[in-house]
Structure 1
Amino acid sequence: MARGDEDHAWPQVEALADAVVALGGATGLPYLAAQSDLGDPGAMADRDGRPFAARFRWLDRDADYWRNRRLALEATLLHAARLIAEPFWYREGRVGTWRSSGLLDGVDLSAVTARTGVVAAVVAPVHLPGGRLGAVVWAADTPVDVAAVFAQRGEAMFAAAIRFLAAHAEWSAPRRHFTPGQLSAREAQCVRWAAAGKTNAEIGTILTLSVSTVRFHLRNAAEKLGAATRARMIQLATGHGFVGTLA
């Protein structure tokens, strides 16, 4: 990848971060937290390794909350973000989105305000290629008619979150030069059955293929995905949408 491309991309990431901050100020939700990969215990950082969280405004400026490497596992709002692909609003234990959601209704958010000081928030989960999940949280420590904010600005906030986290995820990835290849129909079939726990022999029986042919397709799939092991191949294939529901 050309150095010039990277030099051009990171200022765009910074501009997208500024746009996300501006939306918070415009909606009465001035506090901001963001992470482009909830599975990464480290803080989301800029090109020079500086955490964005250190520049974003949060309720307790002295807490350095981003240093908590268990935060994504402990934060209830982020747990809710793992369950739904759409943005949602929170206010003093209540939660809602554009539609009815049994998944959100099943999350106990009653202690969020007491534990964090967040009175109102809009949370935008961002599902990215490769199975990566990120999120942007805009929050307030005073009452806000967040349902009305969500109705008026929810789509714009969601779009801003996607743009920011997608750009950051691409340019911060250690293997951003690698583009996974397109699997053939037979390779995808073999991977799907491997993901279902079938052995090569069982896959061969199901698809009427020899074991050596199954092994050939799985080896090709792993190479195209950049995977060194069967487990990693399945993980990457799932994240890139090659593994669906088996008939």
Structure 2
Amino acid sequence: MAGQELSSWDNIDALARAVRDAGRALGFPFVAAQSDLGDPQPMSDRNCEPYAATVFDWPGHSEAYWQDRRLALKSSFLHAARICAEPMWYHRGQIGSWRPTVLLDQIDCSKVTAQFGFTAAIIAPTHLPGGRIGAVVWVTREEVDLPTIFSRESERLFALAFRFIAAHAEASAPLRAHSAVGQLTGREVQCVRWAAAGKTNTEIGMILSLSVSTVRFHLRNAGAKLGAASRSRTIQLATGHGFLGART
């Protein structure tokens, strides 16, 4: 078990270096990465050392920007990663993807270059099971042929970022999250769906012609299969794993 864990982290560290080197080769020497945008702690290695300090470079690196726990809420790039699951580009105040999308049109990046000196960026969001979202961002302060680079390299960078973020997310997750998510029954999905709609157990029982104790039984089983300790977490994980979008 220990050998497998070490091998896993060695692979993650190698992926971190590959992410860095891929950016440098394309003229994007600065990298920021986070495997969970909802986690205020920086993305770190097995020794809890932030990759931002040990592997990646960033303008103003000495300022330890990763210690700013509000960064994920302030960054327009990370906001874009939350609402778009495809590779994106930034160039002098504009942000977009390989296709037009009104979602990105709503994000104001007009001050990014003036504030940080970034002339261009490639953003690779990673949307993982359970609703977990991460991202890798490559940036440059130099003039680059962004349209050509993005067209030619964005899919490769996206795949590399996904491998890095997904591997790190699994290795750094709590032990309970490593258990395989069980398949919910149709009745469990129905109970969770109505709970997500704000119905009480009594109301769910009336809707589905079940006793209150049976509703509790189904919700408890659904939570156990998802590794959730509360009703709200059961709803969140069921949604993130796609159960509430399925017809039953």
- Identify whether the pair has TM-score above 0.5, normalized to the shorter chain: yes
Q: Tell me how far 1:184 sits from its aligned partner.
A: 1.0
Cα-Cα RMSD? 1.5
Partner-residue secondary structure (3-state), 2:59: coil
Contact between 1:121 and 1:138, CA under 8 Å: does it hold in 2?
Answer: yes
Partner-residue secondary structure (3-state), 1:33: strand
Give the distance between the partners of 1:72 and 1:115, measured in 2 at CA: 17
Partner-residue secondary structure (3-state), 2:62: coil
Letter in 2 for 1:103: L
Give the distance between the partners of 2:101 and 2:41, measured in 1 at CA: 31
Q: Tell me how far 1:87 sits from its aligned partner.
A: 1.2
- Deviation string 1:147-185 (CA, Å, 9 cap, x unpaired) is 221100000000000000000000011225433222111
Letter in 2 for 1:45: S
**TM-score under structure 1 length normalisation:** 0.95
Structure 2 unmatched runs, 5+? none
Partner-residue secondary structure (3-state), 2:5: helix
Give the distance between the partners of 1:160 and 1:177, measured in 2 at CA: 22
Partner of 1:16: 15
Query: Which stretch of structure 1 is more off in the superposition, 153-162 or 211-220?
Result: 211-220
Partner of 1:230: 231
Percent same amino acid at aligned positions? 59
Q: Tell me how far 1:38 sits from its aligned partner.
A: 0.6
- Deviation string 1:95-125 (CA, Å, 9 cap, x unpaired) is 2211110000111110111122211000011
Count of aligned residue pairs for this structure pair: 246
Residue 105 of structure 2 corresponds to residue 105 of structure 1:
yes
Contact between 2:170 and 2:178, CA under 8 Å: does it hold in 1?
Answer: no
Letter in 2 for 1:181: G
Residue 78 of structure 2 corresponds to residue 82 of structure 1:
no
Give the distance between the partners of 1:80 and 1:209, measured in 2 at CA: 43
Q: Tell me how far 1:142 sits from its aligned partner.
A: 1.6
Give the distance between the partners of 1:108 and 1:228, measured in 2 at CA: 38
Residue 168 of structure 2 corresponds to residue 168 of structure 1:
yes
- Deviation string 1:196-221 (CA, Å, 9 cap, x unpaired) is 11111222222232222211111111
Partner of 2:53: 54
Partner of 2:199: 198
Partner-residue secondary structure (3-state), 2:122: strand
Partner-residue secondary structure (3-state), 1:139: strand
Q: Tell me how far 1:245 sits from its aligned partner.
A: 7.4
Partner of 2:69: 69
Partner of 1:41: 40
Give the distance between the partners of 1:99 and 1:163, measured in 2 at CA: 23
Contact between 1:82 and 1:125, CA under 8 Å: does it hold in 2?
Answer: yes
Partner of 1:3: 2
Give the distance between the partners of 2:87 and 2:214, measured in 1 at CA: 44
Partner-residue secondary structure (3-state), 1:90: strand
Give the distance between the partners of 1:124 and 1:177, measured in 2 at CA: 25
Contact between 1:192 and 1:244, CA under 8 Å: does it hold in 2?
Answer: no
Q: Tell me how far 1:126 sits from its aligned partner.
A: 0.4
Q: Tell me how far 1:64 sits from its aligned partner.
A: 1.1
- Deviation string 1:41-97 (CA, Å, 9 cap, x unpaired) is 111000011000012011222221111111101111111111111110000111221
Give the distance between the partners of 2:106 and 2:17, measured in 1 at CA: 34
Give the distance between the partners of 2:98 and 2:201, measured in 1 at CA: 44
Q: Tell me how far 1:246 sits from its aligned partner.
A: 7.9
**TM-score under structure 2 length normalisation:** 0.94
Give the distance between the partners of 1:95 and 1:75, measured in 2 at CA: 13
Partner of 1:146: 146
Letter in 2 for 1:71: L
